[in-house]
Amino acid sequence: MIYSREEVERIVRVAFDIARKRNKRLTSVDKANILESSRLWREVTNAVAQEYPQVKLVHLYVDNAAMQLVLNPRQFDVVVTSNLFGDILSDEAAILTGSIGMLPSASLGGKMFGLYEPVHGSAPDLAGKDVANPIAA
């Protein structure tokens, strides 16, 4: 995993902006005790947090976050993490909705609009089989 300081800062700012508009809680998930990329993630997140004093920032290691997601999912409001950890945790969180097919996905660019879709994607392998509603997503 290679992340630049600028990219982590961009992602973290989006998360802080969202948290500020919601319940003012942000959980940052990393593995800073092991991975160098996670140490950068945490360092940048802490620096950006200084600009958002109204948002409570909590850091969790990914293994603890996975456990907490099962034990007490209501403690989370906005979660920010790397692509790898986010992919795993979002699949785990699918149990909260009953199905991975119910989860949303957002790919957010810099100052452009985001791409929003169901996390399962468009499922082109089902095309023409009369087993899926093409406009249900």
Here the CATH number for the domain that contains residue 17 is 3.40.50.2300
Domain containing 132: what range?
A: 99-137
Sign of CA dihedral 64, 67, 73, 78: positive
Mapped onto helix, strand or coil, the DSSP state of residue 88 is helix
Q: Is the pTM of this model over 0.95?
A: no
Sign of CA dihedral 41, 4, 76, 31: negative
| Tokens, residue 28 | 């940052």
DSSP 8-state class, residue 73: G
Residues 82, 41 contacting (CB under 8 angstroms): yes
* Residues 89 and 119 grouped into a single domain: no
| Tokens, residue 92 | 């785990």
What per-residue confidence (pLDDT) applies to 123? 74
| Tokens, residue 126 | 């089902």
What per-residue confidence (pLDDT) applies to 43? 98
Q: Could you give the number of structural domains in the chain?
A: 2
Q: Phi and psi for 19 in degrees, rounded to 5?
A: -60, -40
In this predicted model, what pLDDT tens digit does every residue of 65-118 receive, in sequence order?
Answer: 999 999 999 999 999 999 999 989 988 988 888 777 777 777 777 666 788 877
* Residues 21 and 82 grouped into a single domain: yes
Rounded Cα gap, residues 110 and 37, in angstroms: 21
* Residues 88 and 103 grouped into a single domain: no
* Residues 10 and 33 grouped into a single domain: yes
Q: In this predicted model, which residue has the larger pLDDT, 51 or 134?
A: 51
Q: How confident is the model at residue 128 (pLDDT cuts 50, 70, 90)?
A: confident
* Residues 109 and 88 grouped into a single domain: no
* Residues 77 and 120 grouped into a single domain: no
For the chain, give the mean pLDDT.
89
* Residues 82 and 33 grouped into a single domain: yes
* Residues 91 and 104 grouped into a single domain: no
* Residues 88 and 119 grouped into a single domain: no
